[in-house]
Amino acid sequence: MNFENYVIENDLGAIESDWTFKELTTIGCGGKIKTLYTPKSLEALQKAFRFINDHDLEYVILGNGSNILARDNDYLGIVISLRKMPASFEVMDNTLTCSAFYPTIKLAYELAKLEIGDLSFLGGIPGLLGGAIYNNSGAYKKEIKDVLLEVTYINSVGELKTIKNGACAFGYRRSVFHYFNSIIISATFKVEKLATLEILEKRQKQRQLTQPLECRSMGSIFKNNQLISAWKVIDALGMRGFQINGAAISAKHANFIINTGNARAADILSLIELIRKRSELEFGIKLTCEIAIV
């Protein structure tokens, strides 16, 4: 039995074949998706993920698509979309338990209303919590690893497993989840009372001034080198504003590539490659991508 029939026969959610990555990623590029799977429930997702792994099927997990560049050709594997999964959070004593499908910006503001400040650094990161854990996302000198206690995920046989922070191998935009088949479903965090609404609003204004939030992008393209920020390298190459067809290096933030309207993934990849080659040739600096390329 193929995956599509398995999902339908077992009532595990919706299967659609009329989506493209353009509609499902913040950069707005990418080809058609042969199979978009939207799980009906956690139990359904567990069964479907087991089937995918048992049959060694190609798949990609999609949260809010804010850190993914999908190529222009049709994607023939399965895209597991988590955006419609039920999501909630709960605070008890000094512990926050939150679903991985909860939007991070909303979470930061909801917590601010409760005067819980520890996850306020997520206030400008437009993803779902699972993507933030997967990438150990961070801002303002704070990362997920600084506040997370435990993560629960679905393993390749569909079981729920919980691991502690120390087992997550967090690094710069990295976690253990990059290295094995798994879907993050929830996490707990240590939190404390702290008023942060004002700081969230101040930071948002600052982001609007310094980042092209009015354009389609994926956030920072390159990781910062230990010695120098990637935007400084790109600026030193004189590439701020440089454009290949519809893909442009933002004039506001040189480490952001924006889609000016009709960018193809190929234009963005050419721009990334050009920046990398020139950075290595002219400064001997190897830039590595922060984004996931599908």
Ligand X SMILES: Cc1cc2nc3c(=O)[nH]c(=O)nc-3n(C[C@H](O)[C@H](O)[C@H](O)COP(=O)(O)OP(=O)(O)OC[C@H]3O[C@@H](n4cnc5c(N)ncnc54)[C@H](O)[C@@H]3O)c2cc1C
Residues noted as catalytic: 173, 220, 290
E strand or H helix at 193, and its extent? none
Question: Which residue lies nearer to ligand X by CB, 165 or 278?
Answer: 165
- Toward ligand X, which CB reaches closer, 50 or 283? 50
Spatial contact of 267 and 246, defined as CB atoms under 8 Å apart: yes
DSSP class per residue in 93-136 = TTEEEEETTSBHHHHHHHHHHTTB-TTGGGGG--SBHHHHHHHT
Based on the shown chain and the rule CB under 6 A, indicate whether residue 123 belongs to the binding site for ligand X.
no
Is residue 170 part of the contact set for ligand X (CB under 6 A)? no
Shortest approach of ligand X to residue 16 CB, angstroms? Answer: 17
Beta bridge mates, 142: 139
- Residue 112 in the binding site for ligand X (CB under 6 A): no
What is the C-alpha to C-alpha distance for residues 19 and 175, in angstroms, rounded to an integer?
29
Please, which residue, 96 or 125, has the CB nearer to ligand X? Answer: 125
Residue number, 32 or 83, with CB nearest to ligand X: 83
Sole binder of ligand X in the list 217, 224, 255, 279 (CB under 6 A):
217
Nearest distance from C-beta of residue 294 to ligand X, angstroms? 8
CA distance 63 to 24: 9
Residue 137 sits in the site that holds ligand X (CB under 6 A): yes
Nearest one of 166, 200, 275 to 230, comparing CA atoms: 275
User: What is the C-alpha separation between 282 and 235, in angstroms, rounded?
Assistant: 13
**Distance, CA of 132 to CA of 61 (rounded, Å):** 13
According to CB under 6 A, which residues from 13 to 72 bind ligand X? 26, 60-68
Taking each continuous run of H as one helix and of E as one strand, the counts in the chain are 8, 17
Of 28, 31, 39, 126, the one binding ligand X (CB under 6 A) is 126
With tokens 């409760």, the residue in question is 114
Nearest approach, Cβ of residue 273 and ligand X (Å): 20
| Minimum gap (Å) between residue 1 Cβ and ligand X | 25
CB 170 within 8 A of CB 145: yes
One-letter amino acid at 64 equals N
For ligand X, which is the closer residue by CB, 220 or 278? 220
CB 63 within 8 A of CB 131: yes
* Burial (Cβ within 10 Å: 0-12, 13-18, ≥19) of residue 281: exposed
Size of the site for ligand X (CB under 6 A): 34
Q: Judged by CB under 6 A, which of 36, 119, 247, 292 binds ligand X?
A: 292
Minimum distance from residue 223 beta carbon to ligand X (Å): 10
E strands in 13-100: 13-16, 19-20, 32-39, 59-62, 68-69, 75-81, 89-92, 95-99
Binding mask 219-248 for ligand X (x = CB under 6 A): x-----------------------------
List 96, 100, 269, 275, residue binding ligand X (CB under 6 A): 100
Q: Which is closer to ligand X, CB of 125 or CB of 285?
A: 125
Please report, as ranges, the residues that interact with ligand X according to CB under 6 A. 26, 60-68, 82, 100, 124-128, 130-132, 134-135, 137-139, 177, 183-184, 211, 213, 217-219, 292
